């Protein structure tokens, strides 16, 4: 599961808005918003990979610690 707080911190660190993440990954902005808001926290591996690649981290770095 994606940790929305980690996602937000990494986006800020990389100066990326939800819009820019959407445009650079090809994932809809509404889906990115759902990840940021915690409404969606279990994306496919393909989506998690695209986001992690853009944020320059391992997929594991986006996951919640309390698994």
pLDDT digits (tens, 9 = 90+) for 5-62: 999 999 999 999 999 999 999 999 999 999 999 999 899 999 999 999 999 999 988 8
CA distance 15 to 13: 6
Give the pLDDT band of residue 66 (cuts 50, 70, 90): low
65 pLDDT band (50/70/90 cuts)?
confident
Distances (CA, A) of 33 to 40, 66, 67: 9, 22, 23
Task: Pick 26 or 65 by higher pLDDT.
Answer: 26
CATH code linked to domain 4-62: 1.10.260.40
Report the C-alpha gap between 3 and 8 in whole angstroms: 9
3-state SS of 4-55? HHHHHHHHHHCCCCHHHHHHHHCCCHHHHHHHHHCCCCCCCHHHHHHHHHHH
């Amino acid at each position: 599961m994606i940790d929305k707080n980690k996602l937000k911190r990494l986006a800020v660190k990389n100066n990326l808005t939800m819009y820019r993440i959407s445009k650079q990954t090809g994932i809809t902005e509404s889906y990115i918003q759902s990840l940021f808001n915690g409404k969606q926290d279990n994306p496919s591996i393909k989506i998690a990979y695209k986001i992690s690649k853009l944020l320059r981290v391992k997929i594991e770095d986006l996951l919640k610690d309390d698994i």
